[in-house]
């Protein structure tokens, strides 16, 4: 775990707590507010890298290291109960378009994937494929908002903030056959 001192976030959000968990895909760090909402998460133990996923105005300068409520869902996910992660509350800040995109990501069932084109259509903006890709790229609470379930329009893996090996592993864990995916 990485630690620092306590401070209130610039937008008035109460102090955040951070915990790093060991997973088969490497260290997984969760940043959570005092209401148990995940602000950011990802496969790293680098506090700065995780905090950089948040816009400056929503980023705490310091956090408290401790136990986060989402830890149980992470353990359940890696024990094969992948949908537990979708029950974890998250807090994201963005435009109406981004908010809709993040809601649509949470609606993708484990074991299935969408393309960026299909995500754009689900967002009600079928011509906004680039915006759909941006929704995934700006998704801070990885795992809990499963942007890893979105593929390029040609069906290949595409990018993932935490690396294609992690994305492939998550999809395999969720029983999506990705052996043919690049």
Catalytic annotation, residues: 147
Q: Across the strands, what pairs with 64?
A: 17
Nearest CA-CA partner of 21 in 73, 60, 57: 73
Question: Encoding tokens for residue 80?
Answer: 């094969």
Question: Encoding tokens for residue 64?
Answer: 């408290």
Instruction: Give the residue ranges of DSSP H helices in the chain.
Output: 47-51, 71-78, 96-106, 116-122, 129-137, 164-173
Q: Across the strands, what pairs with 38?
A: 32, 90
Sign of the Cα pseudo-torsion (171, 172, 178, 181, in order): positive
DSSP secondary-structure letter at 70?
A: T
Sign of the Cα pseudo-torsion (47, 101, 108, 120, in order): negative
């Amino acid at each position: 775990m990485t630690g620092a001192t306590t401070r209130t976030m610039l937008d008035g959000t109460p102090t955040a707590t951070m915990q790093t968990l060991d997973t088969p895909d490497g260290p997984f760090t969760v940043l959570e507010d005092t209401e148990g909402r995940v602000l950011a998460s990802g496969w790293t133990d680098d506090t700065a890298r995780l905090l950089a996923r948040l816009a400056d105005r929503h980023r705490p300068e310091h956090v408290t290291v401790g136990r986060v409520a989402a830890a149980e869902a992470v353990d359940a996910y890696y024990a094969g109960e992948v949908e537990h992660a979708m029950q974890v509350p998250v807090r994201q800040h963005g435009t109406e378009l981004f908010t809709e995109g993040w809601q649509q990501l949470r609606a993708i069932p484990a074991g299935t994937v969408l393309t960026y084109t299909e995500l754009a259509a689900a967002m009600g903006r079928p011509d906004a494929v680039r915006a759909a890709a941006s929704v995934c790229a700006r998704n801070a609470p990885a795992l809990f908002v499963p942007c890893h379930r979105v593929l390029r329009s040609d069906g290949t893996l595409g990018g993932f903030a935490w690396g294609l090996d992690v994305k492939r592993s998550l999809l395999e864990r969720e029983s999506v056959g990705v052996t043919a995916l690049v």
